[in-house]
Amino acid sequence: MIVLRIRRTATTPLLSSPFTSSQPIHPPPPSLTLPVAKISLGFNGAGSLTFTRRRTNHQPRTANSYMAGVGSSVVNPTYAEIIVVRHGETDWNADGRIQGHLDVELNDTGRQQAATVADRLSREPSISVVYSSDLKRALETAQIIAAGCGGQEVIKEPDLRERHLGDLQGLVLREAAKLSPKAYQAFLNQRTDQEIPENE
């Protein structure tokens, strides 16, 4: 799932953002280029929440030409932050079973992980928008986080789905090499443009 926050200078009025809940994920208009700070959240081996922020060094440009076209004042954002959050744990994660596009729900541990992330993000500045894939494990994670951060609507975006993993889906990883060797080798390649075979 993706959480987007757009930070603006204090003296600039808040205006409608091109990143609205009625629009799918697309790059902003060419005249509106925002430096991005990417924040990654996850759980380490000890089960503790980790929080990492990386900010670009590019300076923002104002959006005069874009906003002039829609009759609005100029937005002068300081920068945008994109927070990428992996879905919470499922029973298949716990078993080491490969999910891919198969629609597996969160378990109780996964729901607690999502609540922990929601609590952490609730102490950050306001969230602008939340996107999630339409798979249950991601969507429920996003909904728990959104509810804890001001009740934002979660926008379902199928293109955010995990990669389809062909014959590997449903297999336990340690058995995959023996049960589906061609698909397993394609998976190890780590090329996202390479199809993983099905029905060997």
Tens of pLDDT, residues 111-145 = 999 999 999 999 887 888 899 999 999 999 999 99
Sheet bearing 77-85, strands edge to edge: 49-55, 36-43, 77-85, 2-8, 129-132, 154-156
CA angle 129–134–137, rounded 5-degree value: 95
Q: Is 87 a catalytic residue?
A: yes
Assign a CATH topology to domain 2-162.
Rossmann fold (3.40.50)
Q: Which tokens hold the place of 59?
A: 């300076």
pTM score over 0.75: no
Choose, from 105, 157, 162, 198, the residue flagged as catalytic.
162
CA distance 17 to 27: 12
List where CATH 3.40.50 sits in the chain. 2-162
Q: Quick: pLDDT tens for 29-51.
A: 333 344 444 555 555 555 555 55
pLDDT of residue 22: 37
User: Is 170 marked as binding a ligand?
Assistant: no
Integer Rg of the chain from CA: 19
The confidence band for 28, taking pLDDT boundaries of 50, 70 and 90, is very low
